[in-house]
Amino acid sequence: MWYVMQVRTGTEENIRCQCQRIIDRRILERCFIPYYQQKKRFQGQWHIQERILFPGYVFLIAENLEALMENLKHVIGMTRIIGTGETIVPLTDQEVELLIRMGGDKEQLVRLSQGIIQGDQVHITSGPLQGMEGAIRKIDRHKRIAVLSLDMFGRTVDMKVGLEIIEKNKEKNTKACLQEM
């Protein structure tokens, strides 16, 4: 089962390292932080940077929740495991599938997507956002990111991912180009 641990933003890597060091591998299969790629321009060149996909969260894969909870008591800085009320709830199959689809099973890195804007429609041409155009709530072309609105952790979450718009056509020009063909 996949669980999500809430931590103070900025301490994610520290908590992940503690979990890997303290918790027995027979209890904790894997502990990770999903990242996304973003293009950023500095020193006159474009660079690809990796940013945390869900700031303030660390993901855990374990089968025995009771043993996991007992071991997490030794982790300094852990806030809580996400759940409903007092009940700890693992991620749903759909949430796990989404994370694997976007970031890969082991790597958990959401690579840059590329797309075009035609009129007021976004079309993703490559990358993990293909087929997810309906979830895109906002595009910041300057920062080269898309904000997706998804149901995660039992609520609606805004998730930033890297998106480079390589072409933008106004609807009138697109129709004129199609008629010329």
- Residue where one domain finishes, among candidates 76, 110, 144: 110
In the chain, DSSP assigns E strands to 2-7, 28-32, 35-42, 45-52, 57-62, 78-81, 83-84, 87-88, 109-110, 113-118, 121-126, 136-140, 145-152, 155-169
What number is the average pLDDT over the span 122-139?
91
pLDDT at 131 over 80: yes
Q: Are residues 10 and 96 in the same domain?
A: yes
- Residue where one domain finishes, among candidates 110, 136, 153: 110
Q: Are residues 104 and 179 in the same domain?
A: no
Question: What integer pLDDT is reported at residue 180 of this predicted model?
Answer: 44
Q: Are residues 129 and 153 in the same domain?
A: yes
Q: Are residues 55 and 34 in the same domain?
A: yes
Round to whole Å and give the CA distance between 10 and 7: 8
Q: Are residues 106 and 118 in the same domain?
A: no
pLDDT at 170 over 80: no
Q: In this predicted model, what pLDDT tens digit does every residue of 141-167 receive, in sequence order?
A: 889 999 999 888 878 889 999 999 888
Q: Supply the range of the domain harboring residue 74.
A: 1-110
Q: Are residues 17 and 85 in the same domain?
A: yes
Question: What integer pLDDT is reported at residue 178 of this predicted model?
Answer: 45
pTM to 2 decimal places = 0.84
Q: Which residues contact 146 (CB under 8 A, 6 or more apart)?
A: 113, 129, 136, 138, 139, 140, 160, 161, 162, 163
Question: What integer pLDDT is reported at residue 87 of this predicted model?
Answer: 84
Q: Are residues 48 and 117 in the same domain?
A: no
Using CA atoms, how far residue 27 sits from 65, 105, 118, in Å, is 9, 19, 50
| CATH code for position 101 | 3.30.70.940
What number is the average pLDDT over the span 16-25?
92
Q: Are residues 106 and 119 in the same domain?
A: no
What number is the average pLDDT over the span 56-77?
90
Confidence of residue 53 (pLDDT cuts 50, 70, 90): very high
Q: Are residues 99 and 62 in the same domain?
A: yes
Q: What percent of the chain has pLDDT over 70?
A: 94
pLDDT at 65 over 60: yes
Domain count, the chain: 2
Q: Are residues 83 and 170 in the same domain?
A: no
pLDDT at 61 over 50: yes
Confidence of residue 119 (pLDDT cuts 50, 70, 90): confident
Q: Are residues 16 and 85 in the same domain?
A: yes
Q: What is the mean pLDDT of the chain?
A: 87
Q: Are residues 119 and 97 in the same domain?
A: no
- Residue where one domain finishes, among candidates 59, 92, 110: 110
Q: What percent of the chain has pLDDT over 90?
A: 57
